[in-house]
Structure 1
Amino acid sequence: MALRVAASASRLSSRPQNPSFLSLPHPNTLKFHNPPSHQPRLDALPSLSQRRHVRAITEATALEPDEELKDWKIKMLYDGDCPLCMREVNMLRERNKSYGTIKFVDIGSDDYSPEDNQGLHYETVMGRIHAILSDGTVVTDVEAFRRLYEHVGLGWVYAITKYEPIGKIADSVYGFWAKYRLQITGRPPIEEILEARRKKGELCKDSNACKM
């Protein structure tokens, strides 16, 4: 009998105990962590004086409209009535907001003055792209585009045209476009445009009202 009891006790003690139950930590050893708070710390928020300082810097660095630029490096004479031309002009305007180096002059404006632009008349500038450097140098064709792009951080676009024969080829391609751009964009011949401007000029002179 004693042997059977001892054997039974031995079998009970040798049974594997439930590991999942035994592995649970004692309640007194458990540590609960609060979820992180997503609310910003008050000391991390900028103060009112700091916000005013940032706004003052932003306003101080805002560029003037290109028509009023005092320290321009190059002046672009463009045809504001040319829809395809205006795509490029608008792109350069957007880039120029960060540089302030290009002054844009619409040759079709009633305020356009050849005297203020190295004596370049409307008909001359309508023939091909013209740009004027701050020292008075006039550049045309692909060189004008290259100089303009350089002043807004895009010099790499036309960099290859500095080398021959690439430069001459590029000028030839542009010359073809310039010759036929009025037809390509659905506008009347240059003679009709000049006649319309002449009549408009006479109307302005006689009545001080520039309406076509």
Structure 2
Amino acid sequence: MTRVTVLFDGGCPLCRREIALMQRLDRRGRIAFRDVSDPAASCPVDRRAALARFHAIEGDRLLHGAAAFAAMWRAIPLLSPLGHAARLPGMLRLLDTLYDHFLRVRPRLQRWLA
């Protein structure tokens, strides 16, 4: 199975909680989690873009938004069906739309969780 690298905002309390859950579920160690909020960490994309929107690298493909979430889910056996369902026609578009709506309320959720 292709290893996935997840780029996440370690400065975001919401992101930290989600990544902590994903790390617990990733019992086979198929995901490398990289906190791109750390200026010393290497970041294969513009750091501001990586902090603003979820990114992952699957194989040699850089993914963002729903596609990045789906890649992470496919690497975790428990969530794999969700990741594969994201490949159905129209599903990524729907998930990206939902993710875009979430990004609008993310700052309020971050303040609430801080």
- How far apart, in 1, do the equivalents of 2:31 and 2:108 lie? 29
Q: How many residue pairs get matched? A: 110
User: Structure 2: how far apart are the matches of 1:159 and 1:183?
Assistant: 31
1:126 aligns with 2:44: no
**Percent of pairs with identical residues:** 22
- Select the structure of larger CA radius of gyration: 1
1:155 aligns with 2:85: no
What one-letter code is carried by the residue in structure 1 that aligns with 2:9? D
Between the aligned partners of 1:155 and 1:185, the Cα distance in structure 2 is 27
**TM-score (normalizing by structure 2):** 0.83
Deviations 1:128-171 (A, max 9, x none): 1100123x310111111111111121211343322233321111
Which protein has the bigger helix share? 1
CA distance in 2, matches of 1:183, 1:78: 18
Answer 1 or 2: higher relative contact order, Cα 8 Å, separation at least 6. Answer: 2
Q: Deviations over 1:90-121 (max 9, x none)?
A: 1111122x21111110011132223xx2xx12
2:32 to 89, 99, 103: 103
Confirm or deny that 1:141 pairs with 2:65. Answer: yes
Q: TM-score, normalised by structure 1?
A: 0.47
| Distance in 1 between residues matched to 2:85 and 2:58, nearest whole Å | 21
Counterpart of 2:97?
172
- Of 11, 14, 19, which residue of structure 2 is paired with 1:84? 14
Structure with the larger strand share: 2
Q: Structure 1 unaligned segments of length 5 or more: list them.
A: 1-71, 188-212
Aligned-partner Cα distance in 1 for 2:111–2:72: 27
Q: Deviations over 1:53-98 (max 9, x none)?
A: xxxxxxxxxxxxxxxxxxx7110000112122222201111122x2
CA contact (8 A) 1:128 1:175 kept: no
Query: 5 Å matches for 1:42-61?
Result: none
CA gap of 1:77–1:127, structure 2 versus 1, over 3 A, is same
Moved more, 75-84 or 153-162: 153-162
| DSSP-derived class of the 1:100 partner | coil
Q: Within 1, Cα distance between the matches of 2:107 and 2:41?
A: 20
- Do 1:75 and 1:102's aligned partners in 2 also have CA atoms closer than 8 Å? yes
AA partner of residue 39 (structure 2) = D
Question: Please, which runs of 5 or more residues in structure 2 have no aligned partner?
Answer: none
**RMSD across aligned positions (CA):** 2.0
